[in-house]
Amino acid sequence: MSAENALHIILVEKIRQDALVLPTLPEIAMKVRQAADDPDISLAKMSDIIAHDPALSLGILKVANSVAFGRAVKVESVAQAVTRIGLKQIKSIATAMAVEQMFVSNNQVVAQYMRRSWQKTVDVASVAIALMVKYLENNKNTPFTLDTITLAAIIHNIGVLPILAEAESHPKVFATSAFLQQAIIKLANEIGAEVTKAWEFPEELTHIVKSWNDLTFLPKAVHYLDFIRAGAIYHEIFKSISTRDTLLKSYVKKGILPSVDYLSSTEFTERVAQVRAMF
Where are the chain's structural domains?
3-19+101-276
The superfamily in CATH containing domain 3-19+101-276 is Hypothetical protein af1432 (1.10.3210.10)
What pLDDT does 2 receive?
A: 60
Show the low-confidence residues of the chain (pLDDT under 70): 1-8, 15-16, 19-20, 70-72, 170-179
- CB-based burial of residue 85 (10 Å sphere; 0-12 exposed, 13-18 middle, 19+ buried)? buried
- Listed in sequence order, the residues at least 6 apart from 131 whose beta carbon sits closer than 8 Å to its beta carbon are 227, 230, 231, 256, 257, 268
- In this structure, is the dihedral angle defined by the CA atoms of residues 168, 17, 12 and 230, taken in order, positive or negative? negative
What pLDDT does 157 receive?
A: 93
What pLDDT does 163 receive?
A: 83
What pLDDT does 17 receive?
A: 73
What pLDDT does 1 receive?
A: 47
What pLDDT does 183 receive?
A: 75
What pLDDT does 9 receive?
A: 73
